[in-house]
A and B are shown apart, each in its own frame.
Chain A
Amino acid sequence: SAVISQKPSRDICQRGTSLTIQCQVDSQVTMMFWYRQQPGQSLTLIATANQGSEATYESGFVIDKFPISRPNLTFSTLTVSNMSPEDSSIYLCSVEDLRFGYDTEAFFGQGTRLTVV
């Protein structure tokens, strides 16, 4: 099983600033995913990060607000830019697991709990 380390685990940030979240995997993976988990709401996919190409963003999420880097097969970053209190949430990265012969995200990091004040 993949082990995913996310940093920071939590942070309190001032509005208007930016925070970069790091995700490190202990093995090479093709696809990495970034999710947002707001209180009382479903886990929502922000974007898919593939190594060597631009991230693919879901409806409602844009690169200017959530720039993503994927420099190699074990690492990715998500930046939350120009933060407002509405960005307060848990942000999670995940990677696919091919055990079932189907790309399903089985492994998640522990999440980054972000509070914007």
Chain B
Amino acid sequence: NAGVMQNPRHLVRRRGQEARLRCSPMKGHSHVYWYRQLPEEGLKFMVYLQKENIIDESGMPKERFSAEFPKEGPSILRIQQVVRGDSAAYFCASSSGQGGQPQHFGDGTRLSIL
């Protein structure tokens, strides 16, 4: 089953380190979305990418966060100099980009900051 694959499933970092979260979309999907889920909250949109392009980054924090979706390989969400408040579950979704087609979600990466 070639669903959306995220790794790692759990990531522990100390304050000030970098976190890299990976997402491989479903087969045939070229649109990737990243969401963050804080405890007791719904998911909040962060960024929408197509291959080699950022389409919408209106939900990304202005500093320390970046995302890419290269021509080859998975999409990467990168968090530099992590702080305690970055602890959350980060979900990736993908779609074909065709009208009416829903986004399919991965199982998420749980990021814990010590």
**Chains A and B belong together in one complex:** no
Which residues does A use to contact B, with CB under 8 Å? none
